[in-house]
Amino acid sequence: MTLADMKHGNKFIIDKIEDKSTRLQALRFGISEGSEIECAGSMPGGPVILKKNLQEIAVGRRTAEKISVKKKGMI
């Protein structure tokens, strides 16, 4: 399951961010592998919006497809 499959309101955990530069940039914004995130919206064919507490980040579709996630409670 990747970030691109997430719908508004889904809560999940970031499992793996493949691309290094995305990983580093996400670390700065406060999102890393293992972070608990909520999806705050998704443009059809466009970016996915992540929400962690009050912080919102928009991630492009292709990057989102390369970020794998797992549902909360799944290991």
Partner 1 sequence: MNDCSQIDLDQELQADKKIVLAGNPNVGKSIFFNYLTGIYVSVSNYPGTTLDISSGKMGDAAVFDTPGVYGVGSINDEERVARDFIMSADIIINVVDASHLERDLFLTQQLIDLNKKMIVALNMMDEVKKNNITIDLEALEKELGVLVIPTTAAKNRGLDQVKNSIEKAVCGNDIFEFNSELKTEFEKIKSKSKNEAEALMLLEEDENIRCRYSELKDIPDLREEIYTARRRRVDEITAKVLTYDQNSSQVARKIGSYMLKPVTAIPMLLVLLYLMYQFIGVFVAQTVVEFTEGYLFAGLYEPFMRNLIANSIGFENFFGQLLAGEYGILTMAVTYIFGLLLPLVAGFYLLLSILEDSGYLPRIAVLMDRLLQKIGLNGRAIIPMLLGFGCVTMATITTRLLGTKRERIIAIFLLGLAIPCSAQLGVIAGLISQLDVFYILVYVLTIFAVYVLAGTFLNKVLPGESSDLLIDLPPIRLPDLKNVFNKTYQQTIAFVKEAGPIFVLGAALITVMQKTGLLALITRFAEPITVNWLGLPAATATAFVMGIIRRDFGAAGLTAIALTPAEVTISLITLTLFVPCIAAMMIMVKERNFKEAVYIWFGSWITAFVTGGIVNLFIF
**Lookup: tokens for 71:** 């549902």
CB of 47 to partner 1, least distance (A): 5
The C-alpha atoms of residue 16 and residue 45 are separated, in whole angstroms, by 21
38 is a site residue for partner 1 (CB under 8 A): no
Strands annotated E in the chain: 11-17, 36-42, 48-52, 55-59, 67-71
60 is a site residue for partner 1 (CB under 8 A): yes
30 is a site residue for partner 1 (CB under 8 A): yes
Note the residues at the interface with partner 1 (CB under 8 A): 8, 20, 22-30, 32, 40-41, 43-47, 49, 52-63
